[in-house]
Structure 1
Amino acid sequence: MIGLWDTTGNEVVKALAAERRSAGGVASGMALTLIVVVDEKRVREAEAAATIAAAAHPCRLLVVVRSDVDRDRNRLDAEIVVGGRLGPCEAVVTRMYGRLALHAESVVMPLLVPDVPVVTWWHEEPPVEIANDFLGVVADRRITDAAQAKDPIEALRQRARDYAPGDTDLAWSRITPWRTLVAGAFDTTDAKVTGAKVVAPRTDPTAALMSGWLTARLGVQPEWEHTDAYPRMRSVELRCANGDQLELVREDSMATFRRPGQAERHLPLVRRPLGDELAEELRRLDADQVYADALGAVTGLSGLQSRPAQRVHVWKDPATASRAEAGISAHPETKQA
């Protein structure tokens, strides 16, 4: 590991090249560049998840920690790790202070692996509009997590309003095991579904996306039964035209599948580590139309997939609002998109 304190972006680029040479890295061998935007308190958690994902998808990992944007003096600290504690990847952990934190792209852009896709993951609340963050605009795929928001359901609505093809959310990844089991229930029947019910807390974004998925795929509007007895989605129930009622109920790390005339079946429904959820999203680097349909169905917005995939950077200084509230004039700096 190389540590650089109070350094420059140019020094980081040179140090990474030197570390790659000393580690024997001649060819890149990277499948993508993964940019992780995270708060200082959650850096280790994000690194642990990225390490799991990098085991399946060799990548260059660029961790961006932005702090204290009102600080008078800019500062950049960096750690460079190649094939070390973060697994089979090239990692650069950057900590940016002062106005530099608002221009993280000036450090990140020279570190991108040439000719491979770029994925940006916010392990924190993302910007209200992703176009306000150049690190999102430059990415081919953008991963958010509605569960990080104070109001996860409103966060999903905002993600729908701001959606562009290539966006996804880890709440969607978390219901992959549910969707697999629900879809598998129809391997032995072709009965039409006429109704559905989801039992979950009212703030559970996975339940919201499950409802949207059922609406988009089956053309039914599920009933959402709110419960505070369980911290996450408890069950999914489907009612069929032939009178059958299919029910999938979570019990810890297992699910019980019930169907009239058949014995109960117990199926695995394990809550996966964050790194496995991230790795799932890195498997596809094109737009996820099924997610767009589910998000549109649950928020009432249509045509998400037909929106332009390319974003245009819209500069917004997050420090301006706080200055205005304090009665201080805005910083004279401007930036063209």
Structure 2
Amino acid sequence: MISLWDTTGNEVVKALAAERRSAGGVASGMALTLIVVVGEKRVREAEAAATIAAAAHPCRLLVVVRSDIDRKVSRLDAEVVVGGRLGPCEAVVMRTSGRLALHAESVVMPLLVPDVPVVTWWHGEPPEQIANDYLGVVADRRITDSAQAPNPVQALLQRAVDYASGDTDLAWTRITPWRTLVAGAFDTTDAQITGATVTAPRADPTAALMISWLAARLGITPRWEETSAFPRMRSVELRCANGDGLSLVREDSSAMFTRTGQPERQMPLVRRPLGEELAEELRRLDADQVYSEALGTLAGLPDLSARPAKRVHIWKDPAKATEPAVGGDPAVVAAGPARSGS
């Protein structure tokens, strides 16, 4: 491990090269570059999750910690770790402050692994417009977490407005076990579904996506039954045209599956650590069309999957947030997910 205080981007690149030589082949065969954007207070959470994900997907991990953007003097502190506490990967933790925090790409870009996909994950409130963040513009896949926003469901709607092919959200990842169990219920029935009810708190983004997914796949209008007795989605109930009913009710780390005329069955429904959720999203680097369909249904915006993956960087200074973006500004830079022509 090499620690660099009040350093420069060039020194970070040299330190990483030195650590790679010392470690030998510890982190060879990297499949992607994972950029993590996080605030100082949540660095440990992000590092722990990224370590789990990196164990499943060999990568170069670049953790960008943005803080104190109002500081008059810019500063960069970095920690370079190869095959150490952050798992079997090449990792660089960069703490940026002052105006440098708004231009972290100047340090990150030279550290990208050539000819492999780039994934950017924001561990914190998602950006209102990803095009304002160059670290999102250069990525092939972009992972947000609407649950971190003050109004999670409203944040999901903003994700739909701002959607580009390759975007995803961890609120969607969290309902993968639910979707698996619901889809599995159709293995033993061909009855048409005529209605559904999802019981969840009103601010639960997973419930919003679950309802939208059911609506998009089944052509129905599910009902959201609000509850304040549980912190997250409690149950999903389906009604069939033949009068049968199917239900999944969460009980700690399992779900009770009930179907008319059949005995109850207990199914696994474990709440996974953040690192496993992140690892799931790194398994696929193409656009998730099922997610875009559900998100579009939620927001009433069809054909989200038809949107291009390429974004144009729009510079936005937080100190001038009230000023509209100028399309002809020389700081508006065309960029896309492909540094290798994809």
TM over 0.5: yes
**Aligned pairs, how many?**
328
| Distance in 1 of aligned mates of 2:27 and 2:227 | 53
Give 2:248's aligned residue. 248
Q: Distance in 2 between matches of 1:110 and 1:89?
A: 17
Partner of 2:200: 200
- Amino acid in structure 1 at the alignment position of 2:66: R
Aligned counterpart in structure 2 of residue 335 of structure 1, from 321, 331, 334: 331
SS in structure 1 at match of 2:29: coil
Residue in 2 that maps onto 1:162: 162
Match of 2:72 in 1: 72
TM alignment of 1:37-48, pairs within 5 A: 37-48=37-48
Match of 2:312 in 1: 312
Give the match for residue 53 of structure 1: 53
Q: Distance in 1 between matches of 2:154 and 2:8?
A: 39
1:255-294 matched pairs, under 5 angstroms? 255-294=255-294
Contact 1:105–1:135 (CA under 8 A) maintained in structure 2? yes
The offset of 1:262, in angstroms, is 0.5
Normalised TM-score (structure 2) = 0.94
Q: Equivalent residue of 2:312, what SS?
A: coil
Shift of 1:56: 0.6
Report the Cα distance in structure 2 between the residues aligned to 1:321 and 1:312, rounded to whole angstroms: 18
Contact 1:61 1:91 in 2 (8 A): yes
Shift of 1:27: 7.8
RMSD over aligned CA atoms reads 1.3
Whether the aligned pair in 2 keeps the contact of 1:63 and 1:92 (CA below 8 Å) is yes
- Cα displacement string for residues 197-238 of structure 1 (whole angstroms, at most 9, x for unaligned residues): 000000000000000110111111100000000000000000
Task: Please tell me the residue identity of whatever aligns with 1:290.
Answer: V
Alignment partners' CA distance in 1, 2:321 and 2:221:
40
Matches within 5 A, 1:106-121: 106-121=106-121
CA distance 1:258–1:27, change in 2 (3 Å): closer
Contact 2:254 2:266 in 1 (8 A): yes
Residue aligned with 2:188, SS: coil
Deviation at 1:295, TM superposition (A): 0.5
**Amino acid across the alignment from 1:260:** T
Q: Which residue of 2 aligns with 1:128?
A: 128
Q: Which amino acid aligns with 1:216?
A: A
Q: Are the counterparts in 1 of residues 312 and 332 from structure 2 also a CA contact under 8 Å?
A: no
The CA distance in 2 between the partners of 1:297 and 1:264, in whole Å, is 32
**Post-superposition CA distance 1:175-215 (Å, at most 9, x none):** 00000000000101111100000000000000000001101
For 1:15, the equivalent position in structure 2 comes to 15
SS at match of 2:53: helix
**SS of equivalent residue, structure 1 residue 185:** helix
Structure 1 position 220 matched with structure 2 position 228: no
The one-letter amino acid paired with 1:335 is A
Using the alignment, how far apart are the partners of 1:73 and 1:152 within structure 2?
35
The residue number in structure 2 matching 1:189 is: 189
Counterparts of 1:222 and 1:88, CA distance in 2: 44
CA deviations on 1:226-273 (whole Å, 9 max, x unpaired) are 000000000000001111100000011110000111000001100000
Cα distance in 1 between the residues matched to 2:223 and 2:82: 50
Contact 1:120–1:135 under 8 Å retained in 2:
yes
Distance 1:173 1:68 in 2: 31
Change (3 A) 1:42 1:128: same
User: Residue 168 of structure 1: SS of its match in structure 2?
Assistant: strand
2:85 counterpart residue number: 85
- Please give the residue correspondences for 1:26-37 in structure 2 after superposition, counting only pairs within 5 Å: 28-37=28-37
SS of equivalent to 1:280: helix
Whole-Å separation in 1 of the counterparts to 2:211 and 2:179:
11
Distance 2:126 2:293 in 1: 21
Residues 69 and 319, structure 1, Cα contact 8 Å, conserved in 2: no
Deviation at 1:301, TM superposition (A): 1.1
How far residue 315 of structure 1 moved from its aligned partner, in angstroms, is 0.5
Q: Which amino acid aligns with 1:296?
A: G
SS in 2 for 1:79: strand
Report the Cα distance in structure 1 between the residues aligned to 2:26 and 2:204, rounded to whole angstroms.
46
SS of equivalent residue, structure 1 residue 158: helix
State whether residues 126 and 146 of structure 2, in contact with CA within 8 Å, keep that contact through their aligned partners in structure 1. Answer: no
Task: From the superposition, tell whether residues 15 and 216 of structure 1 become closer, same or farther in structure 2 (CA, over 3 Å).
Answer: same
| Percent of matched pairs sharing the same residue | 80
Question: How far did residue 26 of structure 1 move?
Answer: 8.4
Shift of 1:334: 7.0
Q: Give the whole-Å Cα distance in 1 for the aligned partners of 2:249 and 2:332.
A: 52
- Superposition pairs of residues 129-144 of structure 1, within 5 angstroms: 129-144=129-144
Pair 1:257–1:203, CA change in 2 (3 A): same
